[in-house]
A and B are shown apart, each in its own frame.
With several copies, the nearest count.
Chain A
Amino acid sequence: MKIYEYMGKELFAKYGIPVPKGRVARTPEEAGQITAEIGDAVIKSQILSGKRGKAGGIKFTASPHEARKFAAELLGSEIRGFKVDAVLVEEKLKIDKEYYLAITIDRGAKCPVVLASVQGGMDIEEVPEEHIVKYHVDYSIGMMPFKTKYITSKLKLPAEEAAQVQEILVKLYKMFVELDAELVEINPLVVSAGKIIAADAKVIIDDDALFRQKDLPYVEEKTESEKKAHELGLAFVELEGNIGVMANGAGITMATLDTLQYFGGSAANFLDAGGGASEEATAKALELVLAKNPKAIIINIFGGITRCDDVANAFASVKKKRGIPVPVVIRLVGTNQEKGREILREVGIEAYDTMHEAAQKAVELAAANQ
């Protein structure tokens, strides 16, 4: 879960990481008032995307009047595909230097990794590899002083900056662990009149750990359907095509999409019904697929944890209760396969044996149904 910059900065402040003075505003009046309090201000649109400056989402002013005007323009506007619901109004820092500091998870090393660079303010991907200090954190000992010293020594920071960055590293790591973060990123970490301050905040929380992060604000970046799927514990992504897809397992769902494409078709969605989805969840998943009004539907089940009879029952139940107005192709093999096929036969469907036969048929049916 991505959270907004202002939320990230509130968390930074809570953990003792210096941030610019300021706070979030949801109305032009608030923006004006905060500007009146802090003087020279920057007004930053709060969206779940970077590169807001270039898109016109960041404004500078020292005038409360102008701050109101800017906020009125930004609030409710759409920037890089996101609606702006709030702006962060904060002091405009005198920036002497811009650094980069982040902690994320290294998949290969299976541990947290610190990324730091004295070249901040741009995307870290654009910083040459040799200017990035990369340091793995041993999960059993955490962010010890010797590590923070090593990092600042590799960055060749002057002593008074080094001490501040060492302290920030300890706090940032504490936050990273305690909040189940996937990423905490400060870019830029600025040097302003000798003080080191987090001028931006990018924080991503592990979705799978949200159950124990009850104190965090919840930020929704999904569509209505995706939200519903999420509540059902399903992985759902809206796509541009016209064939509804439901399969069990992310890999096989992707493979289904690939196979549809191979035969000239295109998927209306990605829906991974998961390994062990119940009959009820499966029925709800089907509703999600139908909600996109596809021209045809392909259901591709290779039963392992998922049992074919559960899926067949779910399908039969939805078909009986609400009817299914589009052609459906089902591929059903695996655990309890014969039982499932029997159930499908009762509602007039003959299941396929292989994915490619089913996909080919689905593409044909969708084309015919245009």
Chain B
Amino acid sequence: MSIFVDENTKVLIQGITGNQGAFHARQMVAYGTKVVAGVSPGKGGQKVDDIPVYNSVKEAMEHHQIDASILFVPAKFAKDGAFEAIHAGVKLLILIPEHIPLHDAMAIMNFARAKGTTVIGPNTFGVVSSGKCKIGIMPNQYFVPGPVGVVSRSGTLSYEIVGSLAAAGLGTSTVVGLGGDRVVGLNFIDVLARFEKDPGTEVIVLVGEIGGTAEEEAADYISKHISKPVLAYLAGKSAPPGKRMGHAGAIIERGMGTFEGKVKALNAVGVEVATLTFEVPELVSKVLLKKAM
């Protein structure tokens, strides 16, 4: 089992003829994802390998069932592309671009809510249900099936952790990248709720970082609604306050979102927190072992 996507999910790629779009189209197909169509205005009728390209999402949807779309377009055109997908009725939208203006992101989330579209990202690596369907830009080899659900605000850090899990023989059910921007479609809570109901997920790893209050809110939610074991990894223990560290998210301001505060909130609800990536597989193994006994 898995959440958001599975072996039947039919995927559209917006911006498929660009460098990133074409490269990751192939990577996704190689992973086993059912990429059924691509969109690139003015390139309708072309093909990327075997994938037919259309001029518009609407046109693509007239010819294919589309369950999800992934967007590879420059940030300044992302709002147009996202609106196009939502307007055409795409129900799951993965926004890869980073540097999308915040007001565009708010407009996208607002329109998506009105039309009932789930948005993952922007500035995300995507979502992958291991062994079934990858919609995103993560390296294929680390995403092997297993009982660990991972939800994260950071891309490469997730690969690091999922990779170390895989190296320890621990596969993943679904891995979700929330996106590193300040306004994103999903938060920890949305994904925790899904993992709780997913029979394929036995333990949940939450990959967080300093800044914002998402981890604190997650802790609150976990204490009320999550019965499965949850572990966390937090980045930013060594970061000096007041400096914005790359991610819009990774900034400590106004006394909120400090490393210490997050650890405290998570520990208080029984969530162990790793501060080094190699600790994660150990913690997961321990939990699974305990469950098995």
What is the interface of chain A, defined by CB distance below 8 A to chain B?
105, 107-108, 110-112, 125, 138-141, 144-146, 149-150, 153, 159, 177, 180, 182, 206, 208-209, 211-212, 235, 237, 239-240, 247-255, 257-262, 266-267, 270, 272, 274-276, 302-305, 333-335, 354-356
**B157 and A146 form a contact (CB under 8 A):** no
* Nearest chain B CB to A303 CB, angstrom units: 6
**A303 and B41 form a contact (CB under 8 A):** no
Q: Chain B contacts of A153 at CB under 8 A?
A: 41, 44, 55-56, 59
**B238 and A209 form a contact (CB under 8 A):** no
Closest to A106 in B: B183
Select B106's contact among A139, A259, A274, beta carbons within 8 Å. A139
**Which of B93-101, B194-202, B262-270 interfaces with chain A?**
B93-101
Instruction: Using known A-B contacts A253-B245, A254-B235, A335-B139, determine if residue A302 contacts B160 with beta carbons closer than 8 Å.
Output: yes
**B238 and A261 form a contact (CB under 8 A):** yes
**A235–B237 CA distance with the chains assembled, in angstroms:** 18
Instruction: Using known A-B contacts A267-B238, A356-B277, determine if residue A250 contacts B247 with beta carbons closer than 8 Å.
Output: yes
Closest to A303 in B: B139
**Which of B5-13, B80-88, B284-292 interfaces with chain A?**
B80-88
**A253–B125 CA distance with the chains assembled, in angstroms:** 16
Instruction: Using known A-B contacts A146-B84, A237-B244, A303-B139, determine if residue A249 contacts B278 with beta carbons closer than 8 Å.
Output: no
* Nearest chain B CB to A273 CB, angstrom units: 10
Instruction: Using known A-B contacts A105-B102, A252-B156, A302-B159, determine if residue A258 contacts B56 with beta carbons closer than 8 Å.
Output: no
Closest to B233 in A: A255
**A249 and B155 form a contact (CB under 8 A):** yes
What is the interface of chain B, defined by CB distance below 8 A to chain A?
20, 41-42, 44, 55-59, 75-77, 79-81, 83-84, 87, 98-107, 109-111, 114, 125, 137-139, 152-160, 163-164, 180, 182-185, 187, 207, 209-210, 212-214, 217, 235-240, 243-247, 249-250, 254-255, 275-278
* Nearest chain A CB to B50 CB, angstrom units: 22
Select A248's contact among B99, B156, B213, beta carbons within 8 Å. B156
Q: Chain A contacts of B240 at CB under 8 A?
A: 239-240
Task: Rank and list the top 5 A-B pairs by shortest CB-CB distance, nearest first.
Answer: A251-B154, A250-B246, A249-B156, A251-B157, A235-B246
Q: Chain A contacts of B76 at CB under 8 A?
A: 211-212
**B56 and A251 form a contact (CB under 8 A):** no
Q: Beyond A251-B250, A258-B276, A302-B163: 10 further Cβ-contacts under 8 Å?
A: A108-B217, A141-B87, A146-B41, A235-B244, A254-B209, A255-B276, A258-B238, A270-B245, A276-B20, A304-B137
**B157 and A356 form a contact (CB under 8 A):** no
**A255–B55 CA distance with the chains assembled, in angstroms:** 42
**A250 and B180 form a contact (CB under 8 A):** yes
Q: Chain A contacts of B110 at CB under 8 A?
A: 110-111, 138-140
**A251 and B207 form a contact (CB under 8 A):** yes
* Nearest chain A CB to B207 CB, angstrom units: 7
* Nearest chain A CB to B63 CB, angstrom units: 14
**B106 and A112 form a contact (CB under 8 A):** yes
Closest to B126 in A: A304
* Nearest chain B CB to A252 CB, angstrom units: 4
Q: Chain B contacts of A159 at CB under 8 A?
A: 42
What are 14 pairs between A and B in contact, CB < 8 Å?
A139-B110, A141-B83, A145-B77, A146-B80, A149-B42, A206-B102, A208-B101, A209-B104, A237-B244, A237-B246, A251-B250, A302-B139, A304-B125, A334-B139
